[in-house]
Amino acid sequence: MTRSTAFIGVVAGATFSCILQATPAAAQQPPPQQGFPPPQQQPPPQGYPPQQGYPPPQGYPPPQGYPPPQQGYPPAQGYPPPQGYPPPQQGYPPPGYPPPQGYPPPGYGAPPPPPPPPQNPRRDDGEMVALYALGIGYGVGTGIWLDSLFSITDPGLAIIFPAALGVAAPVGAFLWDRNTNPPRGLPSSIALGLGLGAVEGLAISGVHWQYTGNGPFDKTAFRTYTTVTFLAATGGGIGGYFFGEFARPNPKGLSFVGSGAAWGTITGTLFGIGVSGRDWKDGASVAGLIGYNVGVVGTGLTSLAWTPSFNTQGAMWIGYVVGAGVGALVFPFYLFCDDCETKRGFIAVSVGSLAGLSLATLFVGSNDRGTSATRSPLAQIGMKPPFELAMTPAPRAPTLPWGKDPGTGGNVLTLTRRF
Protein backbone atom coordinates (compact mmCIF):
# COMPACT_ATOMS: atom_id res chain seq x y z
CA MET A 1 0.00 0.00 0.00
CA THR A 2 2.80 2.27 0.71
CA ARG A 3 4.32 1.78 -2.81
CA SER A 4 0.96 2.30 -4.49
CA THR A 5 0.32 5.44 -2.56
CA ALA A 6 3.73 6.86 -3.47
CA PHE A 7 3.32 6.14 -7.19
CA ILE A 8 -0.05 7.83 -7.22
CA GLY A 9 1.48 10.87 -5.53
CA VAL A 10 4.26 11.14 -8.10
CA VAL A 11 1.81 10.94 -11.02
CA ALA A 12 -0.45 13.54 -9.43
CA GLY A 13 2.49 15.94 -8.83
CA ALA A 14 3.66 15.69 -12.43
CA THR A 15 0.20 16.35 -13.79
CA PHE A 16 -0.25 19.42 -11.58
CA SER A 17 3.11 20.82 -12.70
CA CYS A 18 2.13 20.55 -16.37
CA ILE A 19 -1.10 22.35 -15.69
CA LEU A 20 0.72 25.19 -13.97
CA GLN A 21 3.13 25.64 -16.94
CA ALA A 22 0.35 25.73 -19.57
CA THR A 23 -1.94 28.12 -17.78
CA PRO A 24 0.10 31.45 -18.27
CA ALA A 25 0.55 30.91 -22.07
CA ALA A 26 -3.12 30.39 -22.58
CA ALA A 27 -3.98 33.40 -20.44
CA GLN A 28 -1.90 35.78 -22.74
CA GLN A 29 -4.42 35.58 -25.65
CA PRO A 30 -7.85 37.08 -25.08
CA PRO A 31 -10.76 34.99 -26.05
CA PRO A 32 -12.26 35.87 -29.46
CA GLN A 33 -15.36 38.02 -29.45
CA GLN A 34 -18.23 36.30 -30.95
CA GLY A 35 -20.70 38.15 -33.22
CA PHE A 36 -18.63 41.37 -33.78
CA PRO A 37 -20.34 43.28 -36.64
CA PRO A 38 -18.16 44.42 -39.64
CA PRO A 39 -17.60 48.21 -40.14
CA GLN A 40 -20.43 49.84 -42.03
CA GLN A 41 -19.56 51.73 -45.23
CA GLN A 42 -20.97 55.24 -45.68
CA PRO A 43 -23.23 55.28 -48.71
CA PRO A 44 -22.48 57.96 -51.37
CA PRO A 45 -24.76 61.02 -51.49
CA GLN A 46 -27.86 60.90 -53.61
CA GLY A 47 -27.25 61.71 -57.31
CA TYR A 48 -23.67 60.50 -57.39
CA PRO A 49 -23.85 56.68 -57.45
CA PRO A 50 -20.71 55.28 -59.03
CA GLN A 51 -21.17 53.26 -62.14
CA GLN A 52 -21.77 49.61 -61.42
CA GLY A 53 -18.66 47.55 -61.73
CA TYR A 54 -16.25 50.48 -61.21
CA PRO A 55 -14.80 50.93 -57.74
CA PRO A 56 -14.81 54.54 -56.62
CA PRO A 57 -11.43 56.28 -56.43
CA GLN A 58 -9.76 56.78 -53.12
CA GLY A 59 -11.48 59.48 -51.14
CA TYR A 60 -14.75 59.12 -53.00
CA PRO A 61 -17.52 60.08 -52.42
CA PRO A 62 -17.03 63.78 -51.64
CA PRO A 63 -18.31 65.02 -48.29
CA GLN A 64 -21.96 65.84 -48.02
CA GLY A 65 -22.81 69.31 -49.29
CA TYR A 66 -19.94 69.48 -51.75
CA PRO A 67 -21.14 71.38 -54.84
CA PRO A 68 -21.39 69.18 -57.92
CA PRO A 69 -19.01 69.95 -60.80
CA GLN A 70 -20.14 72.20 -63.62
CA GLN A 71 -21.95 70.56 -66.48
CA GLY A 72 -19.54 69.41 -69.13
CA TYR A 73 -16.51 69.61 -66.84
CA PRO A 74 -14.39 66.43 -67.03
CA PRO A 75 -14.28 64.24 -63.84
CA ALA A 76 -11.15 63.24 -62.04
CA GLN A 77 -8.46 61.67 -64.12
CA GLY A 78 -9.03 57.95 -64.68
CA TYR A 79 -12.55 57.97 -63.27
CA PRO A 80 -15.33 57.32 -65.76
CA PRO A 81 -18.37 59.59 -65.60
CA PRO A 82 -21.36 58.07 -63.76
CA GLN A 83 -24.33 56.73 -65.65
CA GLY A 84 -26.32 59.53 -67.20
CA TYR A 85 -23.49 62.01 -66.64
CA PRO A 86 -22.94 64.11 -69.80
CA PRO A 87 -19.59 63.32 -71.42
CA PRO A 88 -17.06 66.14 -71.75
CA GLN A 89 -17.14 68.14 -74.95
CA GLN A 90 -14.73 67.08 -77.65
CA GLY A 91 -11.61 69.19 -77.60
CA TYR A 92 -12.43 70.60 -74.20
CA PRO A 93 -9.32 72.08 -72.63
CA PRO A 94 -7.64 70.57 -69.58
CA PRO A 95 -7.80 72.16 -66.12
CA GLY A 96 -6.59 75.73 -66.06
CA TYR A 97 -9.21 76.87 -68.53
CA PRO A 98 -10.32 79.55 -69.45
CA PRO A 99 -7.30 80.91 -71.33
CA PRO A 100 -6.30 84.57 -71.11
CA GLN A 101 -8.72 87.06 -72.58
CA GLY A 102 -8.29 87.69 -76.28
CA TYR A 103 -7.29 84.14 -77.25
CA PRO A 104 -9.76 81.49 -78.43
CA PRO A 105 -9.87 78.17 -76.52
CA PRO A 106 -7.87 75.25 -77.89
CA GLY A 107 -9.59 73.21 -80.54
CA TYR A 108 -11.10 76.24 -82.24
CA GLY A 109 -8.29 77.05 -84.66
CA ALA A 110 -5.05 78.99 -84.42
CA PRO A 111 -5.05 82.34 -82.63
CA PRO A 112 -5.59 85.38 -84.84
CA PRO A 113 -2.47 86.99 -86.35
CA PRO A 114 -1.07 90.06 -84.63
CA PRO A 115 -2.51 93.37 -85.76
CA PRO A 116 -0.73 94.94 -88.74
CA PRO A 117 1.61 97.84 -88.13
CA PRO A 118 0.10 101.30 -88.33
CA GLN A 119 -0.38 102.50 -91.89
CA ASN A 120 0.44 106.11 -91.06
CA PRO A 121 3.72 106.09 -89.11
CA ARG A 122 5.09 109.32 -87.78
CA ARG A 123 7.00 111.47 -90.25
CA ASP A 124 10.80 111.70 -90.10
CA ASP A 125 12.52 114.74 -88.66
CA GLY A 126 14.43 115.32 -91.89
CA GLU A 127 11.16 115.76 -93.76
CA MET A 128 10.26 118.83 -91.75
CA VAL A 129 13.73 120.28 -92.31
CA ALA A 130 13.15 120.04 -96.05
CA LEU A 131 9.69 121.56 -95.71
CA TYR A 132 11.04 124.46 -93.63
CA ALA A 133 13.73 125.17 -96.23
CA LEU A 134 11.34 125.03 -99.18
CA GLY A 135 8.78 127.00 -97.17
CA ILE A 136 11.26 129.83 -96.68
CA GLY A 137 11.98 129.89 -100.41
CA TYR A 138 8.27 129.80 -101.24
CA GLY A 139 7.55 132.67 -98.83
CA VAL A 140 10.35 134.86 -100.19
CA GLY A 141 9.31 134.13 -103.78
CA THR A 142 5.69 134.98 -102.99
CA GLY A 143 6.84 138.29 -101.50
CA ILE A 144 8.80 139.09 -104.67
CA TRP A 145 5.72 138.29 -106.72
CA LEU A 146 3.63 140.69 -104.61
CA ASP A 147 6.24 143.41 -105.09
CA SER A 148 5.97 142.96 -108.85
CA LEU A 149 2.16 143.13 -108.73
CA PHE A 150 2.15 146.37 -106.74
CA SER A 151 5.18 147.81 -108.61
CA ILE A 152 7.15 148.32 -105.40
CA THR A 153 10.63 149.44 -106.42
CA ASP A 154 11.88 151.16 -103.26
CA PRO A 155 14.37 148.77 -101.60
CA GLY A 156 13.21 149.67 -98.09
CA LEU A 157 9.61 148.81 -98.90
CA ALA A 158 10.34 145.93 -101.26
CA ILE A 159 11.94 143.91 -98.46
CA ILE A 160 8.78 143.85 -96.31
CA PHE A 161 6.78 141.21 -98.20
CA PRO A 162 9.66 138.79 -98.79
CA ALA A 163 10.88 139.02 -95.18
CA ALA A 164 7.43 138.69 -93.61
CA LEU A 165 6.31 135.78 -95.79
CA GLY A 166 9.73 134.13 -95.56
CA VAL A 167 9.20 133.88 -91.79
CA ALA A 168 5.46 133.14 -91.90
CA ALA A 169 5.79 130.11 -94.19
CA PRO A 170 8.04 127.97 -91.92
CA VAL A 171 6.11 129.09 -88.82
CA GLY A 172 2.89 127.95 -90.48
CA ALA A 173 4.53 124.63 -91.36
CA PHE A 174 5.59 124.19 -87.73
CA LEU A 175 2.06 124.85 -86.42
CA TRP A 176 0.58 122.51 -89.03
CA ASP A 177 2.99 119.76 -88.03
CA ARG A 178 2.28 120.22 -84.33
CA ASN A 179 -1.52 120.24 -84.61
CA THR A 180 -2.14 117.62 -87.31
CA ASN A 181 0.67 115.06 -86.72
CA PRO A 182 1.27 114.41 -90.46
CA PRO A 183 2.11 110.85 -91.56
CA ARG A 184 5.44 109.75 -92.93
CA GLY A 185 6.14 111.02 -96.45
CA LEU A 186 3.60 113.86 -96.49
CA PRO A 187 5.88 116.79 -95.46
CA SER A 188 8.62 115.75 -97.88
CA SER A 189 6.04 115.29 -100.64
CA ILE A 190 4.80 118.86 -100.12
CA ALA A 191 8.38 120.19 -100.08
CA LEU A 192 9.23 118.32 -103.27
CA GLY A 193 6.07 119.61 -104.94
CA LEU A 194 6.94 123.19 -104.06
CA GLY A 195 10.46 122.80 -105.46
CA LEU A 196 9.44 121.00 -108.64
CA GLY A 197 6.65 123.51 -109.27
CA ALA A 198 9.00 126.47 -108.86
CA VAL A 199 11.49 124.92 -111.30
CA GLU A 200 8.65 124.28 -113.73
CA GLY A 201 7.60 127.92 -113.61
CA LEU A 202 11.15 129.16 -114.11
CA ALA A 203 11.65 126.74 -117.02
CA ILE A 204 8.46 127.89 -118.74
CA SER A 205 9.49 131.51 -118.28
CA GLY A 206 12.94 130.79 -119.65
CA VAL A 207 11.58 129.07 -122.76
CA HIS A 208 9.24 131.98 -123.41
CA TRP A 209 12.01 134.49 -122.99
CA GLN A 210 14.27 132.48 -125.33
CA TYR A 211 11.65 132.17 -128.08
CA THR A 212 10.64 135.82 -127.92
CA GLY A 213 14.04 136.90 -129.10
CA ASN A 214 15.56 137.55 -125.67
CA GLY A 215 13.58 140.74 -125.37
CA PRO A 216 14.11 143.40 -122.71
CA PHE A 217 13.48 142.25 -119.16
CA ASP A 218 11.11 145.10 -118.17
CA LYS A 219 8.47 145.35 -115.44
CA THR A 220 5.82 143.66 -117.55
CA ALA A 221 8.02 140.66 -118.30
CA PHE A 222 9.11 140.45 -114.65
CA ARG A 223 5.52 140.53 -113.46
CA THR A 224 4.54 137.83 -115.95
CA TYR A 225 7.39 135.51 -115.12
CA THR A 226 6.98 135.83 -111.34
CA THR A 227 3.26 135.16 -111.68
CA VAL A 228 3.90 132.00 -113.71
CA THR A 229 6.49 130.83 -111.18
CA PHE A 230 4.22 131.54 -108.20
CA LEU A 231 1.28 129.66 -109.75
CA ALA A 232 3.46 126.69 -110.71
CA ALA A 233 5.03 126.48 -107.22
CA THR A 234 1.62 126.73 -105.54
CA GLY A 235 0.18 124.08 -107.84
CA GLY A 236 3.18 121.86 -107.17
CA GLY A 237 2.72 122.18 -103.40
CA ILE A 238 -0.98 121.31 -103.66
CA GLY A 239 -0.22 118.38 -105.93
CA GLY A 240 2.49 117.20 -103.54
CA TYR A 241 0.02 117.30 -100.66
CA PHE A 242 -2.54 115.11 -102.43
CA PHE A 243 0.18 112.77 -103.70
CA GLY A 244 1.55 112.33 -100.19
CA GLU A 245 -1.89 112.00 -98.61
CA PHE A 246 -3.18 109.24 -100.88
CA ALA A 247 0.01 107.49 -102.07
CA ARG A 248 1.95 107.61 -98.77
CA PRO A 249 5.31 107.73 -100.58
CA ASN A 250 8.58 106.72 -99.03
CA PRO A 251 10.96 109.67 -98.54
CA LYS A 252 13.55 107.66 -100.51
CA GLY A 253 11.09 107.54 -103.39
CA LEU A 254 10.73 111.33 -103.30
CA SER A 255 14.49 111.68 -103.57
CA PHE A 256 14.28 109.32 -106.53
CA VAL A 257 11.73 111.66 -108.15
CA GLY A 258 14.09 114.59 -107.68
CA SER A 259 16.89 112.62 -109.31
CA GLY A 260 14.57 111.75 -112.18
CA ALA A 261 13.86 115.44 -112.75
CA ALA A 262 17.59 116.14 -112.95
CA TRP A 263 18.24 113.19 -115.29
CA GLY A 264 15.44 114.28 -117.60
CA THR A 265 16.56 117.91 -117.68
CA ILE A 266 20.21 117.14 -118.39
CA THR A 267 19.46 114.49 -120.99
CA GLY A 268 16.84 116.62 -122.72
CA THR A 269 19.12 119.65 -122.80
CA LEU A 270 22.01 117.67 -124.30
CA PHE A 271 19.75 116.09 -126.87
CA GLY A 272 18.24 119.49 -127.74
CA ILE A 273 21.69 120.93 -128.33
CA GLY A 274 22.47 118.12 -130.74
CA VAL A 275 19.31 118.44 -132.81
CA SER A 276 18.97 122.22 -132.70
CA GLY A 277 19.27 124.46 -135.71
CA ARG A 278 21.21 127.65 -135.92
CA ASP A 279 20.69 128.72 -132.28
CA TRP A 280 21.39 125.76 -130.02
CA LYS A 281 19.70 127.51 -127.08
CA ASP A 282 16.26 127.14 -128.70
CA GLY A 283 16.45 123.39 -128.92
CA ALA A 284 18.13 123.09 -125.51
CA SER A 285 15.42 125.05 -123.70
CA VAL A 286 12.48 123.18 -125.23
CA ALA A 287 14.00 119.70 -125.02
CA GLY A 288 15.19 120.40 -121.47
CA LEU A 289 11.64 121.36 -120.38
CA ILE A 290 10.18 118.25 -121.99
CA GLY A 291 12.84 116.01 -120.45
CA TYR A 292 12.22 117.57 -117.05
CA ASN A 293 8.52 116.68 -117.09
CA VAL A 294 9.17 113.20 -118.49
CA GLY A 295 11.69 112.51 -115.72
CA VAL A 296 9.32 113.69 -112.97
CA VAL A 297 6.35 111.67 -114.21
CA GLY A 298 8.41 108.57 -115.01
CA THR A 299 10.21 108.33 -111.67
CA GLY A 300 7.05 109.32 -109.79
CA LEU A 301 5.14 106.37 -111.22
CA THR A 302 8.12 104.04 -110.74
CA SER A 303 8.45 105.00 -107.08
CA LEU A 304 4.97 103.63 -106.41
CA ALA A 305 6.17 100.11 -107.34
CA TRP A 306 9.90 100.21 -106.57
CA THR A 307 11.69 102.47 -104.11
CA PRO A 308 15.48 102.40 -104.55
CA SER A 309 17.63 103.11 -101.54
CA PHE A 310 19.94 106.11 -101.33
CA ASN A 311 22.96 103.94 -102.07
CA THR A 312 21.16 102.49 -105.07
CA GLN A 313 20.42 105.97 -106.33
CA GLY A 314 24.09 106.80 -105.89
CA ALA A 315 25.01 103.83 -108.05
CA MET A 316 22.49 104.97 -110.65
CA TRP A 317 24.06 108.42 -110.72
CA ILE A 318 27.48 106.83 -111.23
CA GLY A 319 26.10 104.78 -114.10
CA TYR A 320 24.57 107.92 -115.61
CA VAL A 321 27.85 109.87 -115.45
CA VAL A 322 29.93 106.94 -116.72
CA GLY A 323 27.53 106.46 -119.64
CA ALA A 324 27.75 110.15 -120.53
CA GLY A 325 31.55 109.94 -120.43
CA VAL A 326 31.56 106.95 -122.76
CA GLY A 327 29.27 108.84 -125.16
CA ALA A 328 31.62 111.82 -125.10
CA LEU A 329 34.35 109.66 -126.65
CA VAL A 330 32.74 110.42 -130.01
CA PHE A 331 34.06 114.01 -130.07
CA PRO A 332 37.66 113.16 -131.05
CA PHE A 333 36.33 111.62 -134.25
CA TYR A 334 35.07 115.05 -135.36
CA LEU A 335 38.69 116.11 -135.80
CA PHE A 336 38.74 113.95 -138.90
CA CYS A 337 35.39 115.19 -140.29
CA ASP A 338 35.46 118.65 -141.85
CA ASP A 339 31.79 118.87 -142.90
CA CYS A 340 30.30 117.49 -139.66
CA GLU A 341 28.44 119.46 -137.01
CA THR A 342 30.33 119.06 -133.75
CA LYS A 343 27.22 119.70 -131.67
CA ARG A 344 25.74 116.46 -133.02
CA GLY A 345 28.08 114.71 -130.62
CA PHE A 346 25.81 115.73 -127.74
CA ILE A 347 23.25 113.29 -129.08
CA ALA A 348 25.71 110.48 -128.34
CA VAL A 349 26.33 111.93 -124.89
CA SER A 350 22.60 111.99 -124.05
CA VAL A 351 22.07 108.47 -125.37
CA GLY A 352 25.13 107.18 -123.50
CA SER A 353 23.95 108.72 -120.22
CA LEU A 354 20.57 107.00 -120.51
CA ALA A 355 22.27 103.70 -121.39
CA GLY A 356 24.52 103.92 -118.33
CA LEU A 357 21.57 104.76 -116.13
CA SER A 358 19.58 101.82 -117.46
CA LEU A 359 22.41 99.34 -116.97
CA ALA A 360 23.09 100.57 -113.44
CA THR A 361 19.40 100.26 -112.60
CA LEU A 362 19.20 96.69 -113.88
CA PHE A 363 22.45 95.39 -112.42
CA VAL A 364 22.52 97.27 -109.14
CA GLY A 365 22.83 94.83 -106.23
CA SER A 366 22.58 94.91 -102.46
CA ASN A 367 23.38 98.43 -101.35
CA ASP A 368 21.94 98.94 -97.87
CA ARG A 369 24.48 98.84 -95.07
CA GLY A 370 23.33 96.21 -92.61
CA THR A 371 19.66 96.62 -93.48
CA SER A 372 17.35 94.88 -95.90
CA ALA A 373 18.88 94.64 -99.38
CA THR A 374 17.46 96.63 -102.24
CA ARG A 375 17.01 94.30 -105.15
CA SER A 376 17.25 95.31 -108.76
CA PRO A 377 14.22 95.08 -111.09
CA LEU A 378 15.68 91.89 -112.60
CA ALA A 379 15.97 90.30 -109.16
CA GLN A 380 12.39 91.25 -108.34
CA ILE A 381 11.09 89.16 -111.24
CA GLY A 382 13.31 86.20 -110.36
CA MET A 383 16.18 86.75 -112.83
CA LYS A 384 19.84 86.97 -111.87
CA PRO A 385 21.93 89.19 -114.13
CA PRO A 386 25.39 87.97 -115.20
CA PHE A 387 26.95 91.06 -113.64
CA GLU A 388 26.04 92.93 -110.49
CA LEU A 389 26.90 96.57 -109.85
CA ALA A 390 26.86 97.59 -106.21
CA MET A 391 27.96 100.31 -103.83
CA THR A 392 29.73 98.74 -100.84
CA PRO A 393 31.53 100.31 -97.86
CA ALA A 394 35.22 100.90 -98.36
CA PRO A 395 37.46 98.18 -96.84
CA ARG A 396 39.14 98.94 -93.57
CA ALA A 397 42.70 100.13 -94.03
CA PRO A 398 45.50 98.47 -92.01
CA THR A 399 46.72 100.13 -88.84
CA LEU A 400 49.64 102.46 -89.40
CA PRO A 401 53.04 101.57 -87.89
CA TRP A 402 52.81 104.30 -85.26
CA GLY A 403 49.51 102.91 -84.03
CA LYS A 404 47.02 105.34 -85.52
CA ASP A 405 43.84 103.81 -86.91
CA PRO A 406 43.05 105.38 -90.31
CA GLY A 407 39.45 104.20 -90.16
CA THR A 408 37.15 103.91 -93.14
CA GLY A 409 35.10 106.28 -95.20
CA GLY A 410 33.03 106.45 -98.35
CA ASN A 411 31.82 103.72 -100.66
CA VAL A 412 33.40 101.61 -103.36
CA LEU A 413 31.73 100.84 -106.68
CA THR A 414 32.03 97.11 -107.31
CA LEU A 415 31.24 95.07 -110.40
CA THR A 416 30.77 91.36 -109.66
CA ARG A 417 30.49 88.64 -112.25
CA ARG A 418 28.20 85.70 -111.52
CA PHE A 419 29.42 82.26 -112.60
Averages of pLDDT over each 10 residues, the chain, 419 residues: 51 52 46 53 55 55 56 54 56 56 55 57 79 95 95 92 96 92 89 95 93 80 94 96 87 87 96 89 93 95 83 89 96 90 94 94 59 50 55 61 58 58
| Exposure on the CB side of residue 109, measured as CA atoms within 13 A | 3
Read off the DSSP letter of residue 364. B
What are the residues whose beta carbons fall under 8 Å from the beta carbon of 319, sequence distance 6 or more? 356, 357, 358, 359, 360, 361, 389
- Judge contact between 262 and 298, C-beta under 8 A: no
With beta carbons less than 8 A apart as the criterion, state whether 137 and 198 touch.
yes
Residue-level pLDDT at 180: 87
Residues linked to residue 413 through DSSP beta bridges, in sequence order: 391
**Predicted local distance difference test score (pLDDT) of residue 398:** 60
The DSSP result for 190-252, as a single string, is HHHHHHHHHHHHHHHHHHHHHHTTS----HHHHHHHHHHHHHHHHHHHHHHHHHHHHH---HH
Residue ranges per structural domain of the chain: 120-249, 257-398+406-419
198 CB neighbour count, 10 Å cutoff: 21
- Can you give the pLDDT at residue 173? 93
Residue 379 CA, chain-centre distance (Å), reads 20
Question: For the purposes of burial, counting CB atoms within 10 Å of the CB of 8, is it exposed (0-12), middle (13-18) or buried (19 or more)?
Answer: exposed
The rounded distance, in Å, linking the Cα atoms of 124 and 147 is: 35
Question: Are the C-beta atoms of 283 and 301 separated by less than 8 Å?
Answer: no
Distance CA 180, CA 241 (A): 14
Instruction: Enter the pTM of the model.
Output: 0.62
Q: So what's the pLDDT on residue 307?
A: 81
DSSP-derived 3-state class of residue 119 = coil
How far apart, in whole angstroms, are the C-alpha atoms of residue 275 and residue 253? Answer: 32
Rounded to a whole number of angstroms, the CA Rg of the chain reads 49
The whole-number pLDDT of residue 317 equals: 94
pLDDT of residue 370: 38
**For residue 362, what pLDDT is reported?**
81
Q: What is the pLDDT of residue 327?
A: 96
